[in-house]
Amino acid sequence: MQMQQFIDRSHLDLPTLNAWIEAEWLVPIAAKRRLDFSDAELARVRLIQDLKADFGVNDEGISIVLHLLDQLHGLRCLVQDIQTMETLDRAKHGG
């Protein structure tokens, strides 16, 4: 989604959005001289907002939570790849 639609859906103001991009809490896709945002980025905004408002997590804590979440996602993808390779290997060898 384009920036204005993302701002409307996330209820962020432009300075906050820019600060979160600068902090690498959000990583939009650069496309033809504009920034596009995914639904995953919208979910991250909602998580950040919940952590700040509901749990009182400070900026340093937000960075740690997002870093751990990204690591967990990477490990999940790796496990899925390994499972796929094992399934293909079993099929290849008739097992």
- Residue holding tokens 């409307």? 8
Q: Domains (ranges, CATH) in the chain?
A: 3-92 (1.10.1660.10)
Cα-based angle 84, 85, 91 (whole degrees, multiple of 5): 90
Q: Is 2 helix (H, G, I), strand (E, B) or coil?
A: strand
Burial of 63 (0-12, 13-18, 19+ CB in 10 A): middle
Mean pLDDT of the chain, nearest integer: 94
pLDDT band at residue 63 under the 50/70/90 scheme: very high
- Mean pLDDT, residues 40-48 taken together: 96
pLDDT band at residue 94 under the 50/70/90 scheme: confident
- Does position 28 have pLDDT exceeding 90, yes or no? yes
Give me the pLDDT at residue 91, please.
Answer: 92
Give me the pLDDT at residue 95, please.
Answer: 62
